[in-house]
Amino acid sequence: MPISVGMVGLGAFGTHFIQPVKDHPEVARVALCDLDEQKLADRSQQFGIDECYRSLDDILATDIDAVMIITQPWLHAPQAIQAMEAGKHAYSAVPVVMLPDGDEMLDWCDRLIEAAERTGMNYMMGETGVYRPETIYCRRRAAAGEFGHFTYAEGHYFHDMSHGLYDVARWRWGDRWDDSRRGGIPMHYPTHSTGQIIDITGAHMTHVSALGYAMPGDDWFLPGTYWNNIYSDQVGLFRMSDGSMARIAEMRRTGTPGIDTFRLYGTQGSFERNFAGSTWLTADGQEPVDLSAVEDPLPEKLAANKGGHGGSHAYLVHEFVMSCVEERLPRVNAWASVRYLAPGIMAHKSALRDGELLEIPDWGDPPG
Ligand SMILES: NC(=O)c1ccc[n+]([C@@H]2O[C@H](COP(=O)([O-])OP(=O)(O)OC[C@H]3O[C@@H](n4cnc5c(N)ncnc54)[C@H](O)[C@@H]3O)[C@@H](O)[C@H]2O)c1
């Protein structure tokens, strides 16, 4: 039976998801929600949607079936839990939560899993990397056994601060912005690096040793700010649950055009993607990979306009809606999403201890 979906958070990113939700054949009704009255009015007019709410509390008090929460990253876990407790299926943008204190983040992971178990409602985290064409391509080759045993993986999220990130920080804090909010912790937002590797291999990170780089004279990543972190770039080496290894690089001072991608190596076959393109490799040679026609099935209107981040937006909407309609767990469910995040939390802790090898907490596989 078609469902009703509330869009919570109509900012720079959330706005991109309104049309695909509206276009989904299994969505019967769409409502909008934002604290900002002007944004609400603008999006209502732009997308021809009349049902509007000024707060999460208000929309959760309605009979809406599910909410897509695309608010500031420090709000996701508390808001998703509130939604599940109100009997709604909840989607949030990445990551599960983002705060300066890693222990507090782990605590929110505990609470998210507990709420998902207790309420029986769906939580899905919208990791765009899981639906990029290169991920779809590797998922297929992995399912066909063409990697053999996985041996080593690399996940990269290169996003130089000069590519819009100063503005992003300011607009997300809004009125609460002041210079003490400068900075961030790259490894506290690791999902674009960890997600594809975990999804394709089916393994997760169990141990990490990580280091950080502090740029001389950096005026953004500073001690004593809200984030209290000096590292603009962090690299972690991980032991995986299948015995393989992975390296994650979260770079915010990087003289590159920017990319979030991965490389995967197996005993039989390997995949590499870099700024020049994608390659499939075996012991006998290599061939370029054309990803332009790699896609999974989607409803017609969504397939015609898949949206940004490698066309992942349409897949994210489709997976969330169908998991609610079919009453099944979404691909990136609560248990998967904490596995995407916890490696980064522990990597930052390790970097603060000069690379000490640390165990990564795990919440296990979803029940059933
Ligand atoms: N590739 C990706 O996966 C990707 C890319 C960009 C952004 N993001 C994520 O998307 C999220 C949103 O980013 P953005 O740049 O759009 O932020 P934004 O600040 O532009 O938008 C957030 C919106 O949420 C609203 N909001 C906050 N609390 C609310 C509440 N209680 N009820 C209703 N509305 C509320 C705010 O008023 C604001 O309009 C972030 O968490 C970010 O991490 C992910």
- Render pLDDT for 300-313 as a digit per residue (tens, 0 to 9): 999 999 999 999 99
Ligand 1 center–CA 9 separation, angstroms: 5
Are 344 and 190 in contact, with CB atoms under 8 Å apart?
A: yes
Q: Ligand 1 mean position to 11 CA, how many Å?
A: 5
Which protein residue has the closest C-alpha to ligand 1 atom 31? 56
DSSP three-state, residue 260: strand
Reported in sequence order, the residue ranges of the chain that DSSP labels E, i.e. its strands, are 3-8, 27-33, 52-53, 66-69, 89-93, 123-126, 150-158, 205-213, 233-240, 245-251, 259-266, 270-274, 277-282, 285-289, 358-359
What domains can you pick out in the chain, each with its CATH number?
A: 3-128 (3.40.50.720), 129-296+334-359 (3.30.360.10)
- What's the pLDDT band for 323 if we cut at 50, 70, 90? very high
Q: What's the CA-to-centroid distance between 141 and ligand 1, angstroms?
A: 34
The sign of the CA dihedral 21, 13, 233, 227 is: negative
Question: Parallel, antiparallel, or unpaired for β 259-266 and 270-274?
Answer: antiparallel
pTM for the complete prediction? 0.97
- pLDDT at position 334 is 98
Ligand 1, residues at Cβ distance < 6 Å = 8-14, 33-36, 39, 55-56, 70-73, 75, 93-94, 128, 168, 171-172, 309
Ligand 1, residue 126: give the atom nearest the CA: 3
Question: Tokens 């989904």 belong to which residue?
Answer: 24
In ligand 1, which atom is closest to the CA atom of 9?
24
Distance 351 CA to ligand 1 centre (A): 28
Q: What is the pLDDT of residue 87?
A: 98
Are 222 and 164 in contact, with CB atoms under 8 Å apart? no
pLDDT digits (tens, 9 = 90+) for 248-272: 999 999 999 999 999 999 999 999 9
Q: Is the pLDDT of residue 368 over 90?
A: no
Per-residue pLDDT averaged across 274-288, rounded?
96
How far is the centre of ligand 1, averaged over its atoms, from the C-alpha of 129 (Å)? 18
- Ligand 1 center–CA 94 separation, angstroms: 10
Query: Are residues 262 and 170 in contact, defined by beta-carbon separation less than 8 angstroms?
Result: no
Report the alpha-carbon distance of residue 2 to residue 54 in Å, rounded: 25
Residue 218: which pLDDT band, with cuts at 50, 70 and 90?
very high
| Separation CA 130–CA 145 (nearest Å) | 19
- Count Cβ atoms below 10 Å from residue 284 Cβ, excluding itself: 5
Whole-number mean pLDDT of the chain?
A: 97
CA atoms within 13 Å, Cβ hemisphere of 277: 9
How would DSSP label each residue in 288-348?
A: EE--TT------HHHHH---HHHHHHHHHHHHHHHHHHTT---TT-HHHHHHHHHHHHHHH
> Residue 310: left (phi > 0), alpha (psi -120 to 50), or beta?
left
Taking the CA of residue 174 as reference, the ligand 1 atom at the shortest distance is 19
At 82, list the tokens: 């509130």
Backbone angles phi, psi at 264, to 5 degrees: -135, 130
| Residues counted in the chain | 368
pLDDT tens readout for residues 113-165: 999 999 999 999 999 999 999 999 999 999 999 999 999 999 999 999 999 99
Supply the Cα-derived Rg of the chain in whole angstroms. Answer: 20
Strands 245-251 and 233-240: antiparallel
CA max distance for the chain: 61
pLDDT digits (tens, 9 = 90+) for 161-185: 999 999 999 999 999 999 999 999 9
Report which of 305, 285, 282 is spatially closest to residue 295, judged by C-alpha positions. 305
